[in-house]
Amino acid sequence: MTAQRFEPAMLRALGQARVAASEGEIPIGAVVLDPSGSVVAEAHNTREASHDPTAHAEVLALRSAAHHRGDWRLDDCTLVVTLEPCPMCAGAAVMARVGTLVFGAWNDEYGAAGSRWDLVRDRRLPHRIEVIPGVLADECGGLVREFLESRRSGGDVDRSEGREEGP
């Protein structure tokens, strides 16, 4: 599969990421495609608004896709996300048996699909996912960088931990 094939879906995920940013959430968007390439579900981060630490775009999109399809197994589906998934989201994709993971920018701090860890292709797990990285990487990474720089310069810091909030 070529990365260019997924650019329209990534643009849709970027649209979701922009919605997240406008709501004060870290701008990450996700889309789930069925085998024909049709969008089954889409979501963006809502962790702040929902006060739910698991409300990452990927988890929300996977939940919605499973509900829509009436099956938790998404083995013939593709998860398209603007930023390389964290360990929680990578684990959710593995447990949902997602067939393909497409992402935009690498996540050097929390990435679990090849950068920091590689949970989605770990041979110790019962399922491995095909990974297609770097789709519209500059645009995806730029959106997150701009958002975080804006928050840092504005002094939006998580005082409960004494450190800046991360994805």
Catalytic residues: 58
Tokens read off for 35? 């085998």
What beta strand segments (E) does 34-139 contain?
A: 39-44, 78-83, 100-105, 130-132
CA 76 to chain centre: 18
Check: CB of residue 42 under 8 Å from CB of residue 61. yes
Check: CB of residue 95 under 8 Å from CB of residue 62. no
C-alpha distances (whole Å) from 40 to each of 14, 27, 43, 63, 78 are 16, 20, 11, 11, 10
Q: From CA 104, how far away is CA 142, in angstroms rounded? A: 10
